Amino acid sequence: MKNSIRRKLMFLFIGGTLFLAGWVMGQHRVTLEKTTVHAVAWTAAEDATPEGLENFKRATEELITTMPGLQRAWVGKLRRPMVVGDITRTHGLVLEFDTVENKVAYSDHPTRVPWAAAWSEVRVPRSTNFDVIGE
């Protein structure tokens, strides 16, 4: 009987420790990001096809794996269209870089060429851009 109680206490201790460790690991730290975000509002071309948009998304996924310092990317429709002057922006692109220097280098990086070609297939030229530099 004594052995059974010890065994139950041991499992309770191990289970509690694992639960506590999982809970601690799952907590989000409340901090400000130090990365650089490049945000773009753009207009989809009238003749853009679903296949063309999928090609652009795939090219963006590939860009994440080949562009130094590019950590994450988002591509999608804007929740609400953005009107800038007489142009309505319908889609968004967000690229997150680890440093400002890597964001600057992205503009002339050779892996950007095929990605930009895929993007040009589905958009109207020109876009509304801005960068946010985490401090």
Q: Tell me, what's the pLDDT at 77?
A: 95
Return per-residue pLDDT of the chain as tens, 135 residues: 667 787 777 777 787 787 777 777 776 666 778 899 999 999 999 999 999 999 999 999 999 999 999 999 999 999 999 999 999 999 999 999 999 999 999 999 999 999 999 999 999 999 999 999 998
Side-chain half-sphere of 35: how many Cα atoms within 13 Å? 15
Q: Say what the pLDDT of residue 16 is.
A: 74
Listed in sequence order, the residues at least 6 apart from 88 whose beta carbon sits closer than 8 Å to its beta carbon are 43, 81, 82
**What pLDDT, on a 0 to 100 scale, did the predictor assign at position 48?**
95
Would you mind telling me the total number of residues written for the chain in this entry? Answer: 135
For 115, the enclosing helix (H) or strand (E) is helix 112-120
| Confidence (pLDDT) at 30 | 64
Nearest-angstrom CA–CA distance, 96 and 44 = 22
**Predicted pLDDT of residue 8:** 76
What is the enclosing helix (H) or strand (E) of 118? helix 112-120
User: Does residue 132 contact residue 36 with C-beta atoms inside 8 Å?
Assistant: yes
126 Cβ partners below 8 Å, 6+ apart? Answer: 87
| Residue 23 C-alpha from the chain's centroid | 25
Cα 75 to Cα 42: distance, rounded to the nearest angstrom: 11
Residue written as token pair 């985490």:
134
Q: pTM of this prediction?
A: 0.76
